[in-house]
Structure 1
Amino acid sequence: MKMSRFARLCLCAALPLMAAACSTPVKAPDYTAFRSAKPRSILILPPVNHTPDVNASNGLIAQMTHPLAEAGYYVVPVTVEIETFRQNGLDTPDDIMQAPAAKLQSIFGADAALYTTITAYGSVYQVVNSTTTVTASSKLVDLKTGSVLWTGTGTANSQDVGEASGAGGGIVGILITAAIKQAVHSLTDQSFRVAHVTAERLLSAGPPAGLLYGPRSVKYGTD
């Protein structure tokens, strides 16, 4: 099939833009404040949930300690933290987010706190497919000064935990497969598995834009 002159012109115009987009390097964040603060311990605040899934905050925070510990930081035990907040009348992530940084530092003794917002969590039925996505963004705040040391975003979906995206058998087969996948996701809490990948991507250390390595890492001071 011959390509029309208009299509050839569009393709020629698009190719340089595509090449430029592919060659654009990821800009490294400014780590000046991070290097100056040198945090050793981190308090993970319960994530604020901007999704309809009531399990989102608990599902993600359960996955966040591991990557921070792997990056070389001491992490305040989440169960201790949650119980402390509860005893002080702070039961929701939104209320906890309003607590002054200096107060958090005096109670927990942590150098920095991780503030997180979840914007996607759960399975979505899309007529011919069903996918589970977890997306969150975080900022690391120095509890002594209130300065933002680092910001990042992480996302993952069903395919990242080994689920195939295709389906055969025509449109009827595709629709049936999508409905089955939606039911399976609901029964097996697929979001929890996807949240693990999201947390690892969000809180990984190292280039091009991850956290700096903490003092418990053999890579501390090399980034």
Structure 2
Amino acid sequence: MRRHFFFPLVCGLLAAVFLAGCAAPARHVDYTAFRNSQPKSILILPPVNDTNDVNASYGLLSEMTLPVAEAGYYVVPVAVMEETFRQNGLTTPNDIQQVSMDKLREYFGVDAAIYPRITKYGSVYQVVDSTTVVSASAKMVDLRTGNVLWVGSASANGKEIGANFNAGGSIVVALVSAAVKQVAHNLTDESHDVAALAANRLLKAGPPDGLLYGPRSPKVGTDW
């Protein structure tokens, strides 16, 4: 009797797990506006910094050009972008991201701009562990029409790039190790390496949620 009761119970639990797994569909991006826009040149604006780390904005910005260029787009060099804004009296990411689309077109002659934002950047103490975390989001806007072409977000941490060391033993050893690792992360500026991973995840090319391949990529049109 117990056997007859146990078998349906197990089947029911397995079915519930299966349905729960199926209930979380992958993120879907509507590429209609992106395909209609077909931008060829892109300006990446300095990220708005929602963290306490003053290096966060340009730490991430320095890693964002490469993945967009590799996706097949011309990207305005960071030095050119910075100097242009400086000559126009703009030096902070918040002010720069408020510049009108018409002005951005006038300054740089590009088709689209990427507006990034950083929500986490730097070493995070986690009671019995410590790691470096970078989290960011971004949107791409067509500067000719104002249409939002793409929106994305990504995170990375130091453990994913192997920049951590393990500690065994007692809780005291674990706590001391976490503190030591946090100091080590700060001294070695691990955030820069983690920012590179986060930037590549955020601005990767290809479906289901990355940028479409640009005109300079040999893969252009394969993701339509």
Aligned length: 214
Distance 1:130 1:100, change over 3 A: same
Which amino acid counterpart does residue 160 of structure 2 have in structure 1?
D
> Is 1:26 aligned to residue 26 of structure 2?
yes
Q: CA RMSD in A?
A: 1.8
Unaligned runs of 5+ in 2: 1-8
Amino acid at match of 1:197: L
Q: In structure 2, how many angstroms separate the alpha carbons of the residues matched to 1:91 and 1:167?
A: 43
1:138–1:67 CA distance, 2 compared to 1 (3 A): same
Question: SS of the counterpart of 2:213?
Answer: coil
1 CA distance for matches of 2:94 and 2:20? 38
Aligned AA for 1:183? V
**TM, length-normalised to structure 1:** 0.91
Please list, as runs of the form range in 1=range in 2, the aligned pairs for 1:52-201 lying within 5 A after superposition: 52-164=52-164, 166-201=166-201
**What is the TM-score with the length of structure 2 in the denominator?**
0.90
Contact 2:42–2:113 (Cα < 8 Å) also in 1 = yes
Q: Give, in whole Å, the separation in 2 of the partners of 1:119 and 1:14.
A: 38
- State, as a whole percentage, how many aligned pairs show the same letter: 61
In 1: Cα distance, 2:184 partner to 2:201 partner: 25
Q: Are residues 91 and 180 of structure 1, via their aligned partners in 2, closer, same or farther at CA, if it must alter by over 3 Å?
A: same
Q: Distance in 1 between matches of 2:192 and 2:157?
A: 11
Structure 1 unmatched runs, 5+: 1-8
Name the aligned partner's letter for residue 114 of structure 1.
I
1:20 is displaced (CA, Å) by 3.4
Distance 1:17 1:87 in 2: 61
Between the aligned partners of 1:85 and 1:17, the Cα distance in structure 2 is 56
**What are the within-5 Å matches in structure 2 for residues 6-25 of structure 1?**
16=15, 18-23=17-22, 24-25=24-25
Match of 2:3 in 1: none
Q: Compared with structure 1, are the counterparts of its residues 41 and 12 closer, same or farther at alpha carbon in structure 2 (3 Å cutoff)?
A: same
In structure 2, do the counterparts of structure 1 residues 12 and 138 end up closer, same or farther at CA, with 3 Å as the change threshold? farther
